[in-house]
């Protein structure tokens, strides 16, 4: 079987597992949890694209996740309120619907905003910082500060955003009760399908001319510039795509979990997503997805057993991965496979497979 | 009007706090390109050192704690450098994630060692009181922090410019290869740099016990601000860090006076982004011949 | 570039399989909600943050709830069955609270849940309990304006804590009040109420400031306070910010005699971290102190300290302890742990508890509580200096206060 064919077979196998086996065997409550992990995996996919392929370590992905999530939640809140003020505005002392909320009464606008707002924010930020060649550590720290500032802003404007409570208690998600088991199930399938589609799209992007340019920018930005390309554009576009993915993830998160709040968007959750990507393997898009699901699953199940220990485990795991296996689980898998292949009495070698090893940070 | 005037010394004292927490970073981040997210936890280690010492050192605990905290946090930093970071040179972004893992472990360790609630470090009696400056009151603890910041900056300046070790450090900072070729043991300089940089975090931690909470989350409250100072000041520039810290302190002080604490933070961030538009490498650029 | 990017998916394939094995044993439970499971025990859920920033506070409540469960079990349990606590970690993260609540209700089939601390965690759990028609006991004073049919509130609502605190300041002749709070729901709502109260009672609010959660730089705020020369400060800061605020307030030359700061989030537990020197003499408003008189409290403090040496007991801990006893009494009275029956039996139920006589108000599902103003002592404990004559009827929407019209 050619590697390419084997790849598709694997994709199909994973798809089968996620779309058929899991829903048949998992209890509703666990399926809902898995749906949450898949949402986070969508955001992780965006990080994989920006960081793994493009070398932009974005520590503020929570911002875009939040923008998408709030766009969706605002519509749901307005819909539930049915012309009145959303419940939290009443107890925050807001008397008239703020202008910012008005467009979100329209579901089409809200759904469009889920992608458009994060993308626009990323384009503005990206255009500002990348054009000035702010990169590497500077960029990482700026995005981190952005996440911190975003949370402060959200929390501080309680009448507009629900403050620390965030937005919760939705009754009607496009005609369904979001807490009903059937809706949860549907949402699971929707999330899984969206993740699959975005994964394939991202993969296509990486394999395209643009993708090659992106990797080139990652590995030698100045050289790419000398060749006549504009790295700022390449980076901004990629950053915007990853922001859009985070926005979609946030929007799906709202019906799946039933809440969006600033505590999901700050410095720590944003970092945790990056951690997950690193553990899964940042240079492969599948690694990002895998990492997000595994790490979040581990977090949930581990904190069920030993609450304080999770921090030790997460910290230790992370130190180990970064020192011993910077390419994450996928990297380990590839290493093992290559080692195995070497030991075997050399079957037909795969001559046209370029080495993917030489990837500096 | 009077309280507006008061904001001036307040701005300086906020700047002094920012400077103290960021000083160590100008070394580790500026010189070695290591984004040490555990810097906040080294600050925490310094604060807990003061807590541990206050029982037998009594009223002088703060003074006694300064050198001890420097050694404790420095040792932690040195250990971190030896065990992990030295494998990471040239991969600055990876150090960020690595040290974040370290910071998680240290936080939880503090929680297990000292308990989750805050502990109390009593301010010594000789630090209760205040002087009147421009008509406003400036508490002694704030003066102490300012004096400490000045002392640290002066000490570092002398060290970097007058001592043999310091000159080696600067040599490595400006051009690692050339320094190595000229016979500087860069690995040893790196260890020393990390020791000093982390030790300064410990000193900052002792100072912070005078004005803030001492608990496992202490580091997380300061880390983002500390990095912003370094970014705005320019990597590895002592001068840049001093000016950036004071400027951000002032900005913070007046922005909060006219608006509120939440908005002040957002304003500071916006100003930094705008500033980086003008000077993408921070206030002062370290000129090297490196091509990225 | 023909790198087979799909190949790493092989690793991904392992994961759902692992998930499946891990969850395999859970699909068989088909019992009804709220029965606490079959067998010889009744499962009850405890859902607090055992990790993260809120763990400091919530772990103590978890401990007192477990103490109450042990006490009940020692006396033979409820309806002849022992209580079996299922403890979950909310991890200081609101969505986690919602999810763990779901797990406790659907997977563990607990009879009831005791949990939550922050308003945000309660708001996140509320829809879960309402949709599943399950029961939550929430043990912390909060901002009112809520009355869910599936939540019992054993902490104070605003008219049992904030309003008495204001009454006390008014009685002391304090006219100019400065409001300081952390930026979240409780302080903002509390301050809205305070402003309405001040307007009706000839008091003047001379400043209102919020700082982000975890804020530690208070010199500007202290300067602003000094500028306005208020008679008193009403403090709704949260957690670590209190430490920074009081240290900097004290070192700027303020103390209780010069400018009293009425706090509603500082209990015995927090005093230690702030440092008694920085806060002694300052008033606080609660419904219970470790020093509260009465046999029930002596027993509670003794039992708690026997388990946790050197620990103090505080208002939220006592409210959590009460919640367990109240639920147990209601279930006993109802003869079942079924939610609707327990709710019915709980209305009007009255018990002698550490803070005194506690009665559940049927319509609001809050409890009658005695308001107590205390002053922080040099030993770190709090001494009661004023108390309401009798337990105050809970009024989460402040309907019986004319000045509060238009607030909710």
> Worst-scoring range by mean pLDDT, A153-162, A202-211, B276-285, C285-294?
B276-285
Residue in A closest to B33 by C-alpha: A137
Question: With bands split at pLDDT 50, 70 and 90, how would you rate the model's confidence at C256?
Answer: very high
Q: Is residue A195 part of a domain?
A: yes
CB pairs under 8 A between A and C: 212
In terms of residue numbers, what domain contains B30?
2-278
pLDDT, tens only, B31-59? 777 889 999 999 999 999 999 998 878 78
Q: Tell which A residues from 125 to 164 touch C, by Cβ distance under 8 Å.
A: 152, 155-156, 158, 163-164
Residue in B closest to C244 by C-alpha: B212
Q: Tell which B residues from 20 to 79 touch C, by Cβ distance under 8 Å.
A: none
* B contact chains, 3+ CB pairs < 8 A: A, C
Rounded to a whole number of angstroms, the distance from the CA of A122 to the nearest CA of chain C is 25
Rounded to a whole number of angstroms, the distance from the CA of C246 to the nearest CA of chain B is 9
Q: Is residue C377 part of a domain?
A: yes
> Worst-scoring range by mean pLDDT, A65-69, C327-331, C397-401?
C397-401
Inform me whether the C-beta atom of residue A189 falls under 8 Å from chain B C-beta atoms. Answer: no
Report pLDDT for C327: 97
Q: Is residue C262 part of a domain?
A: yes
Of C252, C253, C275, Cβ closest to residue B120? C275
Q: Decide if C19 and A297 are in contact by the 8 Å CB cutoff.
A: yes
In terms of residue numbers, what domain contains C263?
158-291+371-404
Question: With bands split at pLDDT 50, 70 and 90, how would you rate the model's confidence at C32?
Answer: very low
pLDDT, tens only, A241-295? 999 999 999 999 999 988 999 988 988 899 989 989 999 998 899 999 999 999 8
Report pLDDT for A308: 63
Of A10, A30, A93, Cβ closest to residue C13? A10
Q: Is residue A148 part of a domain?
A: yes
User: What's the CATH number where B265 sits?
Assistant: 1.10.3470
In total, how many domains does chain B have?
Answer: 1
pLDDT over 70 (residue C329): yes
Report pLDDT for A266: 87
- What is the residue whose two structure tokens read 């180990």? A320
Summarize the confidence of residues C191-196 as an average pLDDT.
Answer: 92
In total, how many domains does chain A have?
Answer: 1
B91 contact residues in A (CB cutoff 8 A): 326, 360-361
- DSSP states along A35-102: HHHHHHHHHHHHHIIIIIIT----S-HHHHHHHHHHHHHHHHHHHHHTTS--HHHHHHT--S--TTTG
For chain C, the three-class secondary structure string (H helix, E strand, C coil) is CCCCCCCCHHHHHHHHHHHHHHHHHHCCCCCCCCCCCCCCEEEEEEEECCCCCCHHHHHHHHHHHHHHHHHHHHCCCECCEEEEEEEEECCCCHHHHHHHHHHHHHCCCCCCEEECCCHHHHHHHHHHHHHHCCCEEECCCCCCCCCCCCEEECCCCHHHHHHHHHHHHHHCCCCEEEEEEECCHHHHHHHHHHHHHHHHCCCEEEEEEEECCCCCCCHHHHHHHHHHCCCEEEEECCCHHHHHHHHHHHHCCCCCCCCCEEECCCCHHHHHHHCHHHHCCCEEEECCCCCCCCHHHHHHHHHHHHHCCCCCCCHHHHHHHHHHHHHHHHHHHHCCCCHHHHHHHHCCCEEEECCEEEEEECCCCEEEECCEEEEECCCCCEEEEEECCCCECCCCCCCCCHHHCCCC
* Probe site for chain C from A4, A12, A24, A29 (most C CB atoms < 10 A): A29
Report pLDDT for C29: 41
Q: Which two tokens stand for residue B1?
A: 């009007």
Cβ contact B92:A137 at 8 Å: yes
In terms of residue numbers, what domain contains A245?
32-343
Cβ contact A208:A47 at 8 Å: no
Q: Decide if A30 and C118 are in contact by the 8 Å CB cutoff.
A: no
Q: Decide if A168 and C98 are in contact by the 8 Å CB cutoff.
A: yes
* Probe site for chain C from B8, B9, B54, B260 (most C CB atoms < 10 A): B260
Q: Is residue B285 part of a domain?
A: no
Report pLDDT for B138: 84
- The SS3 call for residue A168 is strand
Q: Is residue C260 part of a domain?
A: yes
Q: Tell which A residues from 78 to 117 touch C, by Cβ distance under 8 Å.
A: 90-93
User: What's the CATH number where C252 sits?
Assistant: 3.40.50.2300
Rounded to a whole number of angstroms, the distance from the CA of A147 to the nearest CA of chain B is 10
pLDDT above 90 as % of chain A: 43
Question: With bands split at pLDDT 50, 70 and 90, how would you rate the model's confidence at B129?
Answer: confident
pLDDT over 50 (residue B9): yes
Summarize the confidence of residues B74-102 as an average pLDDT.
Answer: 87
Q: Tell which A residues from 247 to 286 touch C, by Cβ distance under 8 Å.
A: 257-259, 261, 263-264, 281, 284-286
Summarize the confidence of residues C284-313 as an average pLDDT.
Answer: 94
Rounded to a whole number of angstroms, the distance from the CA of C192 to the nearest CA of chain B is 18
pLDDT over 80 (residue A357): no
A165 contact residues in C (CB cutoff 8 A): 94, 119-120, 123-124, 184-185
Inform me whether the C-beta atom of residue A209 falls under 8 Å from chain C C-beta atoms. Answer: no
Question: With bands split at pLDDT 50, 70 and 90, how would you rate the model's confidence at A298?
Answer: confident
Rounded to a whole number of angstroms, the distance from the CA of A132 to the nearest CA of chain B is 6
Q: Decide if A11 and C6 are in contact by the 8 Å CB cutoff.
A: yes
Q: Decide if A318 and B291 are in contact by the 8 Å CB cutoff.
A: no
Report pLDDT for A182: 86
Q: Is residue B252 part of a domain?
A: yes
Q: What are phi and psi of A125, to 5 degrees?
A: -60, -45
* A contact chains, 3+ CB pairs < 8 A: B, C
In total, how many domains does chain C have?
Answer: 1
Q: Is residue C271 part of a domain?
A: yes
Rounded to whole angstroms, the maximal C-alpha distance in chain B is 60
Inform me whether the C-beta atom of residue A127 falls under 8 Å from chain B C-beta atoms. Answer: no
Q: Which two tokens stand for residue A221?
A: 């930005």
Cβ contact C285:C371 at 8 Å: yes
Closest CA to B120 of C50, C312, C244: C244
Residue in B closest to A145 by C-alpha: B224
Q: Is residue A15 part of a domain?
A: no
Report pLDDT for A359: 41
The CA distance from A3 to B53, in Å, is: 63
Q: Decide if A145 and B224 are in contact by the 8 Å CB cutoff.
A: yes
C178 contact residues in B (CB cutoff 8 A): none
* Probe site for chain B from C51, C55, C92, C220 (most B CB atoms < 10 A): C220
Q: Decide if C217 and B257 are in contact by the 8 Å CB cutoff.
A: no
Note if the pTM is more than 0.95.
no
Q: Is residue B22 part of a domain?
A: yes
Q: Is residue B292 part of a domain?
A: no
Q: Is residue B290 part of a domain?
A: no
Q: Tell which C residues from 195 to 214 touch B, by Cβ distance under 8 Å.
A: 209-212, 214
B10 contact residues in C (CB cutoff 8 A): 219-220, 223
Summarize the confidence of residues A182-195 as an average pLDDT.
Answer: 93
Q: Is residue C278 part of a domain?
A: yes
- The SS3 call for residue B177 is helix
Report pLDDT for C206: 95
Q: Is residue A329 part of a domain?
A: yes
Q: Is residue B261 part of a domain?
A: yes
Inform me whether the C-beta atom of residue C307 falls under 8 Å from chain A C-beta atoms. Answer: no
Closest CA to B42 of B89, B78, B87, B82: B78
> Worst-scoring range by mean pLDDT, A309-318, A338-347, C296-305?
A338-347
pLDDT, tens only, C345-358? 999 999 999 999 99
């Amino acid at each position: 079987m050619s590697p390419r064919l084997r790849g598709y077979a694997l994709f199909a196998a994973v798809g089968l597992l996620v779309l058929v086996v899991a829903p048949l065997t998992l209890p509703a409550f666990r399926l809902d949890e898995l749906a949450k992990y898949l949402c986070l995996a969508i955001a992780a996919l965006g990080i994989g694209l920006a960081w793994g392929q493009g070398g932009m370590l974005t520590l503020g992905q929570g911002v875009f996740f939040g923008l998408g999530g709030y766009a969706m939640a605002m519509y749901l809140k307005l819909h539930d309120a049915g012309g009145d003020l959303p419940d939290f505005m009443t107890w925050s002392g807001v008397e008239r619907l703020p202008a910012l909320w008005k467009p979100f009464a329209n579901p089409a606008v809200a759904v469009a905003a889920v992608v458009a707002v994060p993308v626009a924010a990323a384009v503005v930020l990206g255009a500002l910082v990348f054009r000035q060649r702010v990169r590497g550590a500077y960029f990482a720290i700026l995005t981190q500060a952005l996440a911190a500032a975003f949370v402060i802003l959200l929390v501080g404007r309680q009448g507009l955003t629900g403050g620390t409570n965030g937005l919760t208690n939705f009754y009607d998600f496009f005609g369904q009760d979001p807490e009903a088991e059937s809706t949860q199930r549907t949402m699971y399938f929707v999330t899984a399908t969206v993740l699959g589609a975005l994964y394939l799209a991202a993969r296509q992007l990486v394999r395209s001319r643009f993708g090659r340019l992106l990797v080139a920018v990652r590995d030698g930005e100045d050289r790419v510039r000398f060749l006549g390309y504009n790295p700022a554009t390449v980076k901004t576009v990629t950053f915007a795509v990853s922001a859009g993915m985070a926005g979609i993830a946030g929007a799906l998160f709202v019906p799946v979990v039933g809440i969006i709040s600033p505590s999901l968007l700050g410095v720590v959750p944003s970092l945790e997503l990056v951690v997950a990507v690193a553990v899964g393997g940042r240079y492969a898009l599948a690694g990002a997805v895998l990492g997000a699901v595994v790490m979040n699953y581990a977090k949930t199940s581990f904190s069920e057993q030993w609450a304080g220990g999770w921090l030790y485990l997460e910290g230790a795991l992370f130190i180990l991965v970064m020192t011993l296996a910077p390419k994450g689980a996928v990297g380990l898998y590839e290493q093992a496979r290559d080692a195995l292949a070497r030991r075997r009495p050399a079957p037909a070698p795969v001559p046209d497979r370029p080495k993917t090893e030489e990837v500096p940070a | 009007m009077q309280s507006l005037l008061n904001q001036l010394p307040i701005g300086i004292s906020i700047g002094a706090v920012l400077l103290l927490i960021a000083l160590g970073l100008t070394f580790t981040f500026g010189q070695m390109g290591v984004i040490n997210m555990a810097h906040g936890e080294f600050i925490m280690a310094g604060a807990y050192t003061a807590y541990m010492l206050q029982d037998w050192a009594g009223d002088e605990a703060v003074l006694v704690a300064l050198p001890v905290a420097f050694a404790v946090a420095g040792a932690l930093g040195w250990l971190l450098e030896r065990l992990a970071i030295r494998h990471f040179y040239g991969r600055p972004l990876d150090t960020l994630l690595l040290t974040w893992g370290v910071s998680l472990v240290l936080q939880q360790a503090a929680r297990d060692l000292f308990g989750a609630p805050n502990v109390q470090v009593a301010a010594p009696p000789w630090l209760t009181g205040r002087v009147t400056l421009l008509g406003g009151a400036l508490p002694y603890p704030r003066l102490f922090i300012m004096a400490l910041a000045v002392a640290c900056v002066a000490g570092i300046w002398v060290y970097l410019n007058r001592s043999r070790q310091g000159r080696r450090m600067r040599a490595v900072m400006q051009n690692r290869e050339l320094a190595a070729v000229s016979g500087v043991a860069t690995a040893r300089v790196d260890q020393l740099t990390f020791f000093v940089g982390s030790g300064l975090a410990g000193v900052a931690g002792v100072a912070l016990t005078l004005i803030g909470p001492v608990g496992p989350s202490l580091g997380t409250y300061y880390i983002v601000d500390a990095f912003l100072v370094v970014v705005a000041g320019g990597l590895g520039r002592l001068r840049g860090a001093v000016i950036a810290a004071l400027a951000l302190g002032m900005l913070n002080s007046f922005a909060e006076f006219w608006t509120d604490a939440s908005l002040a933070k957002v304003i500071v961030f916006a100003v930094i982004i705008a500033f980086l538009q003008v000077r993408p490498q921070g206030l002062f650029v370290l000129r090297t011949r490196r091509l990225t | 570039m023909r790198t087979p990017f799909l190949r790493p998916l092989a690793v991904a394939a392992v994961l759902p399989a692992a998930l499946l094995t891990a969850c395999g044993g859970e699909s068989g439970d088909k019992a009804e909600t709220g029965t606490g499971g079959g067998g010889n025990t009744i499962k009850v859920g405890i859902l607090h943050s055992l990790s993260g920033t809120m763990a400091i506070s919530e772990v103590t409540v978890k401990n007192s709830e477990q103490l109450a469960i042990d006490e009940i079990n020692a006396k033979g349990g409820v309806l002849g069955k022992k209580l079996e606590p299922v403890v979950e970690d909310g991890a200081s993260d609101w969505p986690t609270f919602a999810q763990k609540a779901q797990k406790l209700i659907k997977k563990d089939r607990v009879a009831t849940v005791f949990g939550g601390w922050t308003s945000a965690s309660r708001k996140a759990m509320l829809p879960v309990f309402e949709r599943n028609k399950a029961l939550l006991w929430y043990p912390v004073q909060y901002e009112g304006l809520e009355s869910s049919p599936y939540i019992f509130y054993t902490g104070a609502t605003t008219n049992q804590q904030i309003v008495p605190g204001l009454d006390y300041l008014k009685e002391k002749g304090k006219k100019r009040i400065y409001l300081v709070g952390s930026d979240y729901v409780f302080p903002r709502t509390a301050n809205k109420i305070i402003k309405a109260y001040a307007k009706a009672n000839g008091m003047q609010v001379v400043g209102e400031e919020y700082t982000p959660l975890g804020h530690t730089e208070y010199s500007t705020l202290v300067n602003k306070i000094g500028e306005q020369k208020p008679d008193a400060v009403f403090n709704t800061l949260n957690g670590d910010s209190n430490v920074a605020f009081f240290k900097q307030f004290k070192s700027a030359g303020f103390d209780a005699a010069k400018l009293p700061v009425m706090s509603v989030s500082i209990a015995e537990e927090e005093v230690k971290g702030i440092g008694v020197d920085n806060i002694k003499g300052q008033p606080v408003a609660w419904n219970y102190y470790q020093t509260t008189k009465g046999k029930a409290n002596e027993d509670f403090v003794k039992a708690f300290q026997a388990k946790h040496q050197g620990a103090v007991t505080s208002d939220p801990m006592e409210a959590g302890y009460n919640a367990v006893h109240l639920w147990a009494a209601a279930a006993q009275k109802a003869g079942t742990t079924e939610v609707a029956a327990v709710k019915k039996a709980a209305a009007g139920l009255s018990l002698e508890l550490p803070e005194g006589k506690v009665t559940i108000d049927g319509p609001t599902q809050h409890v009658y509580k005695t308001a107590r103003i205390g002053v922080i002592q040099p030993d770190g404990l709090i001494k009661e200096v004023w108390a309401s004559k009798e337990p105050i009827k809970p009024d989460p929407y402040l309907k019986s206060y004319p000045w509060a019209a238009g607030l909710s």
